[in-house]
Structure 1
Amino acid sequence: MKKSDLSNLSVAELQNKLGELKKSYSELTMAHTISPIANPLQLRSLRREVARVATELSKR
């Protein structure tokens, strides 16, 4: 998601989005630990997405 997309969401929606992203990130890291995933760059992009949402929440 882009920064402009995140600024349009409410605080409750951002918290839900953050929870979903953290859950999917932990599942992906677990899958990568067990057997390497095809595209390890997914980890980086998902981690950055979590950081974007967390930053937007802390701004508010």
Structure 2
Amino acid sequence: MKSKNWNEMKNMLDVELSEKLSELQDKIFRLRFRHSMAPVKNPLEIREIRKDIARTKTLITQRKKTKKESE
């Protein structure tokens, strides 16, 4: 994910981030399943999706912490 996408993610609403996270998790599940049957064309895609999931979770956690601190 490039910094442009990171900035776009920062501007997303919490609901949109949750939807993106579930979409990415579903995508990596399908890729891993296909990869177990036969090698996928681009195995680096699995790594990229895993990193996108981590970035999304990080952003969600950061927002939860800031909301908690502001209360």
TM-score, length-scaled by structure 1:
0.94
**2:47 maps to 1:44:** yes
Q: Name the structure 2 match of 1:9.
A: 12
Residue segments in structure 1 that go unaligned for 5+ positions in a row: none
Q: Percent identity?
A: 33
The match for 2:33 among 26, 30, 36 is 30
Q: Distance in 2 between matches of 1:56 and 1:8?
A: 11
Cα distance in 1 between the residues matched to 2:34 and 2:22: 18
Of the two, which has the highest radius of gyration?
2
The CA RMSD measured in Å over matched residues stands at 0.8
Runs of 5+ consecutive residues of structure 2 not aligned to the other structure: 64-71
Count of matched residue positions in the alignment of Structure 1 and Structure 2: 60
Aligned partner of 1:54 in structure 2 is: 57
Write out the 4+ residue segments of structure 1 that deviate beyond 3 Å after TM superposition: none
Q: Which has the higher contact order (CA 8 A, sep 6+)?
A: 1
